[in-house]
Structure 1
Amino acid sequence: MTTIRVRLTLIYSGLFLLTSVVLLVTVNVLLRQAMDARLVQPVAQVAEVAVPAPLGPAGRPPLPPLPQLVEDVIGYQWEMTGLTVAILTLVSLVVGWLVAGRLLRPVHRITATAQRLSLSTLHERIALAGPKDELKELADTFDAMLDRLERSVAGQRRFIANASHELRTPLAVQRAAIEIGLPEDIGEIRDKLLLHNRRAESLIDALLLLAQAEHGLDGTSRVDLDQVVRLVVAEGRTDEVSVTARSEPFVVDGDPVLLNRLVTNLLDNAVRYNRPGGTVEVTLAGGILTVRNTGPHVPEERFGDLFEPFRRLHTTRGQGAGLGLSIVASIARAHGAGVHASANPGGGLEIVVDFARGAEAGPAGG
C-alpha cells in the first residue's frame, strides 16, 4: 500500500516532468522552425549556383554546409534536453519527497498523539502552531474533542466514586440490621437474607471495579507481579482443588490493587469451574501469566462469551455474577496486556495474560 507521501511525491514529479517535457519539446520545435526559416531557406535560395568552398584558415577543411550544421545543432539540443529532463526528474523526486514530508508533518503529529492517547493521558493535546489552514483547523478540532472527552471521563469517575459510597453504605447497614435485629429462631430466613445481601455487595463491588478498570489508571507504580501471584495463591488455596504455582520475577507499571484483583479473579474462576479433586496451575514466566485448570470441557463457540459481562458457564460448583473474566480483561487492557483463552485437551481452560508483549486484549471471559 502506497502512502500519501509517496503519492504526493509521484504527483509532484509527474506534473513537473510533464510540464518540463512540454516546455523543452516546444522550445526545440520552435528553434528548429526558426533556424530553417532564417538560415537554411535563405541560404538555399541564394546559393543556386554551386561555388567551391574555400579552404579554411591554415589549410583546415571547410565548415560543413549550413543545413548540416543546423541538423547537428538541433541533434545536440535534443540530447541535452533528454539529459536535462532525466536529471530534473530525479531532483523533482527528492524535492517532492521532502516537500510532501514537510506538508504531512502536522498529520504525523496528530496521528502520534491519537496513538499515544488512553484514558490516563487524555490531558495531552496536539497544540499545533502555524498558519490558520486546514491542518491547523483539524488539529484544533481534535483538541476540542479531547476536551469534551476528558470532561466526560472525569464526570464518570466522580459518578463511580459517589456510587461506591452511596451503594455500599445501605447494604452494610442492612447486613448489620439482619445480623443484630433478627432472632436466632428464624435462622433459615436470616441466612438467606444474609446470603442475598453478600451477593448484592459482591455484585456492586464487581461492577464498580469493572467500571474503574474500563476508565483506565489514575496513577501507576512499579508492582512485583510475582509477589502478587504468590500472595494470591497462598490466600486462595482450597482442599477441594490442588493449586500449584511457579513464578519468576517480573515488574509491571500499574495499579497494585487492580493487579491483585486480576490474579484473584483468574484463580477464583479456575477453582470454581473445576471438578472435585481437580488441579489448577498458575505460572508466571517472562511476563506471561498462565492459569490452567481441569474443569469441564468448554465448547469452542463459547470462547467469544467468556470475557463478556454476565456470561456464565454451566457448573455444579455454584454460580458467580459472570463478571470475573470480564474484569480480568478490562484490567489487562488498562495495563496494556493481551488476554486470550484456549481449551485444554482433557477439559478446562488455559487463560493467558501477556504483560510482556503489551498487546491489545482479546475477547474476555466470565
Structure 2
Amino acid sequence: MPATVRARMTLLYGGLFAVITLGVLSAVLWMQKRIVNDRVQDVPAHPNPVACDGVPEDMPCPPAAPVAPTPRFEFVEPGAGQGPKKVVGPEQFQDSLVGSQRLVILVAIVVITVLAFAVCWWLTGRLLRPLHSITATARRLSLSTLHERIALDGPQNELKELADTFDAMIDRLEKAVDSQRRFVANASHELRTPLAIQRTAVEVGLADPSPERLAEVRAEMLRNTLRSERLIEGLLVLAQGERGLDARAPVDLEAVVRQVVEDNAAAAERDGIAVAAETRPVTVAGDEVLLTRMAANLVQNAIRHNRPGGDVRVELSEEALVVRNTGPIVPPEKVDELFEPFRRLHADRTGSAEGAGLGLSIVAAIARAHGGDVRATANPDGGLSVTVALT
C-alpha cells in the first residue's frame, strides 16, 4: 500500500524536528560536560595534616611533606537517610553528574519525538482536510452531478485556490456538456425537419399526381435536399475545424477574401446591400479550403443578417480579418451566444430559408484550428463587427 501524503508529511516534519531536537540537546549535554570538567579542576587544594604521634615531646614535630591536593566530595546515597556519607573523588563525581544529565536528556528526547510525530500527524490531517473534500467531489462527478461544487471556505491559500480552480473547471465542463446536449437536440431537429417536409410533399403529390402538383413537389424536395446538404456539409466542416489541421501550407489570404467578396456580390446587390473591401497582402499557414469557408461564412452572414439598403465592410490587415455590417440591434450580452451551434439572436433554431445556424460556429472552429482567435462586438447603430486574428 503506497504511503499517503499525510504519512509522508508526518515522517518528514516529525523526523526533521526530532533530528534538530536531538542535535540541540546533544550540544547542550556536551557543553554541560565541559563546564563540569572546568569547575571540578578549579577546586582549591588542602594540605594533608601530619600527626605528631610517636615524636618525643622535646623534639619538634617534623613538617608535613607536600602532597597533591585531593578534593573531597560528599554525597548522600538515595535511601540512605541519615546514614554515613559516601566520599567520592572528582572523576566519580563528574561521571555521576554527567550520567544523570544524560538520562534526563534521553528521556526528554523520547518524549519530544513522540509529541512531535503526534502533533505533525494532527496538523497534516487538518491541512489536508480540503483535499479530501476535493477528492470526494471528484469521485461523485458524473454527467448527472455536474452541478455540485466544492465551495471551499477559509483563507485564500493554495488549497482554496486549488478548490476554486477545480470549481471553475467543473463550470466549463458543465457548459460544454450543456452545449453538446443542445447541439445534438438542435441537429436532430434540423435533420428531421427537411425529412418530414419531403415525406409530406411526397404523400401530397401521390394523392394528386397531376403534372402541376408533381412539379411543385419536385421543387420542394429539391429545396429541402439542398438545405440538408448544407446542414450536413456545415456539420462536417465544424467537426473538421474542431479536430484541427493535419497539415499547413502557405495561403494567400488576400486572394481568398477578394474571391469570396466577388462570389457574394450578386446576392448582396439583389438585397440592395453595398459591400466594400479593403485588403492588404497577407499570407498565413493553414488550409485554404477551411479559410475560404471561414471568410465566406463571415461575408454571407453579414449580408443575410442585414437591413435593406445596408452595407458590409471587409477589412484585411496583417493583424486580423474584420467584417462589419449594419443590421438589427444586438444586445451585448447575447453576442457570445451567437458562436454556439444553431444559436440565433431570437431563437435557437432557424427556418430553411435562413440556413442551418452554423456560420459563426464554423468560423470560431476554423480560427481555433489555425491557432487564432475570434471575437465579436455589437455595433452601436446595429449589426456586428467580427474580428478574426490568425497567427
Q: TM-score range by the shorter chain?
A: 0.5 to 0.7
**Equivalent pair of 1:242/1:278 in contact (CA under 8 Å):** yes
Shift of 1:39: 2.3
1:195 maps to 2:194? no
1:330 maps to 2:365? yes
Shift of 1:318: 4.3
Matches within 5 A, 1:128-207: 185-186=212-213, 187-207=215-235
Shift of 1:235: 1.4
**Equivalent pair of 2:241/2:362 in contact (CA under 8 Å):** yes
Residues 184 and 225 of structure 1, relative CA distance in 2, 3 Å threshold: farther
Q: Give, in whole Å, the separation in 1 of the partners of 2:326 and 2:24.
A: 81
Aligned to 1:258: 290
Q: Give, in whole Å, the separation in 2 of the partners of 1:271 and 1:41.
A: 107
> For 1:44, what is the secondary structure of its paired residue?
coil
Aligned to 1:226: 254
**Equivalent pair of 1:294/1:349 in contact (CA under 8 Å):** yes
Spell out structure 1 runs of 4+ moving beyond 3 A: 14-28, 45-48, 182-187, 313-318
Q: What TM-score, normalized to structure 1?
A: 0.52
Shift of 1:268: 0.4
**Equivalent pair of 1:340/1:351 in contact (CA under 8 Å):** yes
Q: Give, in whole Å, the separation in 2 of the partners of 1:351 and 1:261.
A: 15
1:211 equivalent among 239, 249, 263: 239
Aligned length: 218
1:351 maps to 2:386? yes
**Equivalent pair of 1:312/1:319 in contact (CA under 8 Å):** no
**Equivalent pair of 1:267/1:291 in contact (CA under 8 Å):** yes
Aligned to 1:32: 31
Residues 342 and 282 of structure 1, relative CA distance in 2, 3 Å threshold: same
Aligned to 1:242: 274
CA RMSD of aligned residues (A): 3.5
> For 2:339, what is the secondary structure of its paired residue?
coil
Aligned to 1:95: none
Q: Give, in whole Å, the separation in 1 of the partners of 2:38 and 2:310.
A: 106
Gaps of 5+ in 1: 1-11, 49-166, 357-366
Residues 317 and 344 of structure 1, relative CA distance in 2, 3 Å threshold: farther
Shift of 1:27: 4.5
- Structure 1 letter corresponding to 2:34: M
Aligned to 1:305: 337
Shift of 1:316: 11
Q: Which moved more, 1:335-344 or 1:39-48?
A: 39-48
Shift of 1:319: 1.3
Aligned to 2:40: 41
String of CA shifts for 1:100-153, please: whole Å, max 9, x gaps. Answer: xxxxxxxxxxxxxxxxxxxxxxxxxxxxxxxxxxxxxxxxxxxxxxxxxxxxxx
Identity among equivalent pairs (%): 47
Q: What TM-score, normalized to structure 2?
A: 0.49
> For 1:311, what is the secondary structure of its paired residue?
coil
Matches within 5 A, 1:30-69: 30-46=29-45
Q: Give, in whole Å, the separation in 2 of the partners of 1:312 and 1:319.
A: 10
Shift of 1:16: 11
Gaps of 5+ in 2: 1-11, 48-190, 203-208
Q: Give, in whole Å, the separation in 2 of the partners of 1:236 and 1:266.
A: 11
Shift of 1:302: 2.0
**Equivalent pair of 1:222/1:253 in contact (CA under 8 Å):** yes
